Amino acid sequence: MSATTDLTTDLSVTTASVSAMTEGPEGSPADGPDAPGHSEHHAARLPPGITPGPQTLRAFRAVLANTLVANVTTSYLWFALTFWAYLETKSVLATSILGGSYMLLIAVGGIFFGTLVDHHRKHAVMVASSAITLVMFMLAGALYLLFPTQRLVDWNGPVFWAFAGVILLGGVVESLRNIALSTTVTLLVPDGQRDKANGQVGTVQGIAFMITSVFSGLSIGLLGMGWTLGLAIGLTALALGHLLTITIPEQRPPRDEGARPPAFDIRGAIGAIRAVPGLGALILFSCFNNLVGGVYMALMDPYGLTLFSVESWGIVLGVTSFGFVLGGLWVARFGLGEKPLRSLMLVNVVVALIGIFFTVREVWWVYAGGILLFMCVIPIAEAAEQTILQRVVPFAKQGRVFGFAQSVEVAASPVSAFLIGPIAQYGLIPYMKTAEGQERFGWLVGAGQARGIALVFIASGLLMLVAVAVAMISPPYRVLSRSYQQAEPPPAS
């Protein structure tokens, strides 16, 4: 269930306040013109002439509606590809390679995408993202028409990977749009309302996931891959056409005369992160969590497809993904309170407990209930991280910071996905079918065809629970919490 782990997305503080919290060599606050961030009084100051208000909120809602269509399109084809690949190949290894490759490309492209977002208008970046996705999906359609089915489903041959690869690239480019959307919230939504706006983003993502979960399974089961591709291409073209009608009030980002901006501005991203005490630790914590999340990405679909038919599994994902909508609506209505970082940590505790218990026995309603709860809390975590970043990172550098954070956090998932696929396929799954495996671990996970996968989930949940407990008592947690609390909103004009 790679898309849910994605889930797997995501600080206006004055740098003077941040500097005042940075102790000098003798315990006094750092000060002076050389203090970190001293030159920018308001970290999230917006470009001159841009004042969030009713007009910009209307633009934000239009972008959000377009994002719904775009997310439906990308998720629809990506889910369908995952279902189709497993059903045709019957290989956990093939699906883990697909999921791992997706996350690896997201990680590699994050810094590049973030740099593009900071150096170009957000609307232009979104248009480019949708156009590239459309081209990739059309290329996949051409490959489907050119090659017979037996070559397309041979996962040991190049045609399967070329076909899956172009769909994968079309989905990866969507992350460029998502980075632009995160900075657009800062640009168009007034400070103090961004947590609720991020909740609206989560709601839209949940609705898209709910729609595509149902229709991807039904589409593959009833229509086949050919019609699925055709529908995806049509929806992508529709989203692009609608996006061209939207106007975002923004200015061209300033550039140094005669200087060409770097394609991968790692230095700028790291500088912005280092200016906020504790922010680097938050990113590393998310990186570790995604290391565990790679296990979910690799194994949740195969496990679900042992309990349900592909059509039923799609419906189960659609119904349970309503939790994603509920979580997003909760944040959109009530916000995150004064301590979004604490909300983020508590959500991770819940996710860890879900991983420990939802596959303890091979019972479909326990598994589905765990996924429903997982979906409810993920929008809270996403909104919390987004709100923190939007408040304490300078607007001019937010794209690079979002991209860098995405790269670092997501980079862990392919590692675990690539490792756990072969381990599960050739080690744990066969072992748990033996008398020795059932005798040793049967008391914990029961008996059934997917007990090896269940054992992996339990171990991963325990590991995450320990990590969250350590993080919540660590100094960086307290430092970043103070950074957020002492932040000043940007001026009204």
Amino acid at 113: F
Query: Among 36-40, 118-122, 157-161, 191-195, which is the least confidently predicted range?
Result: 36-40
Question: Does 38 map to a domain?
Answer: no
Structure tokens at 29: 């606050």
**pLDDT above 80 (res 334):** yes
Within a domain: residue 264? Answer: no
Looking up tokens 């940075």 gives: 22
Q: Is the pLDDT of residue 459 over 90?
A: no
Lowest average pLDDT, out of 157-161, 167-171, 278-282, 302-306, goes to 278-282
Q: Which residues contact 475 (CB under 8 A, 6 or more apart)?
A: none
pLDDT at residue 50 in the model: 62
- pLDDT, residue 422, reads 77
Give the domain CATH number at 431.
1.20.1250.20
Q: Is the pLDDT of residue 402 over 60?
A: yes
Question: Helix (H, G, I), strand (E, B), or coil: what is residue 359?
Answer: coil
Residue range of the domain that includes 387 = 8-18+50-247+274-485
| Closest of 1, 34, 44 to residue 398, by C-alpha | 44
Pinpoint the alpha helices (H) of 2-91.
Answer: 2-5, 15-20, 54-89
Examine residue 35 and state whether it is found in any structural domain, yes or no: no
* Sequence-distant (≥ 6) Cβ neighbours of residue 374 within 8 angstroms: 4, 323, 351, 354, 358
pLDDT at 142 over 70: yes
* Span 356-371, pLDDT tens digits: 888 888 788 989 999 8
pLDDT, tens only, 180-227: 888 888 888 887 788 888 888 888 877 887 777 678 878 888 888 889
Contact 489, 191 (CB under 8 A): yes
Handedness of CA 438, 430, 292, 164 (dihedral sign): negative
With cut-offs at 50, 70 and 90, classify the pLDDT of residue 158. confident
pTM value surpassing 0.85: no
Inside any domain, residue 396: yes
Contacts 24+ apart (CB under 8 A), 30-39: 36/274, 36/275, 37/275, 39/15
Instruction: Out of 160-174, 214-228, 296-310, 378-392, give the one with best mean pLDDT.
Output: 160-174
Residue 338, Cβ density class (10 Å: 0-12 exposed, 13-18 middle, ≥19 buried):
exposed
Copy the structure tokens of residue 358.
């939802």
pLDDT band of 414, cuts 50, 70, 90? low
Task: Give the CA distances from residue 471 to residues 13, 377, 474, 479, in Å, rounded to whole numbers and listed in that order.
Answer: 23, 19, 5, 12
Most confident of 1-5, 59-63, 221-225, 438-442: 59-63
The predicted pLDDT at position 130 comes to 92
Cα 455 to its chain centre, rounded Å, is: 25
Q: What's the one-letter identity of residue 169? A: L
What pLDDT does residue 425 have? 75
List all residues 6 or more positions away from 55 whose beta carbon is below 8 Å from its beta carbon: 249
Torsion of CA 257, 179, 162, 426, to 10 degrees: 130
Phi and psi, residue 78, nearest 5°: -65, -45
Banded pLDDT at 127 (limits 50, 70, 90): very high
In a domain, 492, yes or no: no
DSSP 255: -
Residues 17/486, Cβ–Cβ less than 8 Å:
yes
Q: What is the domain count for the chain?
A: 1
pLDDT, mean of residues 416-440: 76
Mean of all residue pLDDT scores within the chain: 77
- 166 found inside a domain: yes
Q: From residue 17, give the alpha-carbon distance in Å to each of 14, 22, 213, 441.
A: 5, 9, 45, 53
H, E, C per residue of 260-287: CCCCCCHHHHHHHHHCCCCHHHHHHHHH
| Predicted pLDDT of residue 135 | 94
Classify the phi-psi angles of 446: left when phi > 0, otherwise alpha if psi is within -120 to 50, otherwise beta.
Answer: left
Considering just the CA atoms, what is the radius of gyration of the chain in Å?
23
Tokens matching residue 238: 């529709």
Query: Which pLDDT does position 53 carry in this prediction?
Result: 66
- Of the chain, the percentage scoring pLDDT greater than 90 comes to 9
Q: Bridge partners of 23?
A: 29
For residues 230 and 216, what is the distance between their CA atoms, to the nearest angstrom? 13
Mean pLDDT of 158-183: 87
The pLDDT tens digits of the residues spanning 237-285 come to 999 999 999 888 887 776 655 556 666 677 777 877 777 777 777 777 7
CA distance 140 to 163: 6
Report yes or no on 42 lying in a domain. no
Percent of the residues in the chain that have a pLDDT greater than 70, as a whole number: 80
Comparing 185-194, 249-258, 298-307, 432-441, which segment has the lowest mean pLDDT?
A: 249-258
Mean pLDDT over residues 230-239, rounded? 92
Q: What is the pLDDT of residues 10-65, one digit of tens each?
A: 322 222 222 323 233 333 333 333 333 333 334 455 555 566 667 788 888 899 99
Residue 29 lies in a domain: no
